[in-house]
Amino acid sequence: MATSNDLKNGLVLNIDGQLWTVIEFQHVKPGKGGAFVRSKLKNVMSGKVVDRTFNAGVKVETATVDKRDMQYLYKDGADFVFMDTDSYEQLHIPAATVGGSADYLLENQEAMVAIHEGTPLYVELPASVELVIEYTEPGLQGDRSTGGTKPARLETGAEIAVPLFITSGEKVKVDTRDGSYLGRVSS
């Protein structure tokens, strides 16, 4: 248990049986009336963001979330198998929990897995990853960096938009948050 005065970014709260991460908060002390805390909370499971106001000093239930560095091993049916890099314990995580991260996940890749009471909540990848372009249409003479974009399939099977001059087999850097192309990687 904590009070609304103890809120800080990244803290996970248990509100009505649902887990919410504090994205931002602000202590407000109006001229008259009691002080309160205005917060923005993100639902850990659904990703939905809500604004919530707490009176100052109100008790809020915190949840213990264990964030562990893990290595992605392989896909087993609908599950993704991760290994704890400290204990070598293997953890099966359902595809729904891995979510969009699966588009940028390669075997042996490091990821951070958040676990609450033995249940994996989400998988967090590094901000960017380096992946090989498996296939994209060949560029035409004159396609330079000032041109538009074309679709390209990554080695993970995900589709992203790349500049016209990128060719199949090239390694590129991809932003894992929105799937945007960040640049070529020199080999």
Question: Residue 184 pLDDT > 60, yes or no?
Answer: yes
Quickly state the pLDDT bin for 17 (edges 50, 70, 90): confident
Q: Cα dist. 78→97, 121, 170 in Å?
A: 11, 16, 29
Regarding the domain delimited by 128-184, which CATH topology (the fold level of the hierarchy) does it fall under?
OB fold (Dihydrolipoamide Acetyltransferase, E2P) (2.40.50)
Where are the domains positioned within the chain? 2-60, 66-124, 128-184
Fold of 2-60: SH3 type barrels. (2.30.30)
DSSP letter at 7 equals -
pLDDT of residue 131: 93
pLDDT value at residue 110: 93
pLDDT of residue 186: 78
* pLDDT at residue number 11: 87
Q: 141 falls in which pLDDT band (50, 70, 90)?
A: low
Query: What pLDDT is recorded for position 147?
Result: 67
pLDDT at 143 over 60: no
- pLDDT (average), residues 181-185: 90
Tell me, which fold does domain 66-124 have in CATH? OB fold (Dihydrolipoamide Acetyltransferase, E2P) (2.40.50)
Q: Work out the average pLDDT over 127-148.
A: 78
Q: Tell me the whole-structure pTM to 2 decimals.
A: 0.73
Dihedral (CA of 94, 100, 104, 110) sign: negative
The domains spanning 66-124 and 128-184 adopt the same CATH topology: yes
Instruction: Give the long-range contacts of residues 17-22, CB within 8 A, separation 24 or more.
Output: 18/43, 18/44, 18/45, 19/43, 19/44, 19/45, 19/63, 19/65, 19/116, 19/121, 20/44, 20/50
Residue-averaged pLDDT of the chain:
88
Residue 135 has pLDDT above 60, yes or no: yes
Give residue-wise pLDDT tens across range 27-85: 999 888 889 999 999 888 777 899 999 998 899 999 988 889 999 999 999 999 999 99
Residue-wise pLDDT tens digits, 70-84 = 999 999 999 999 999
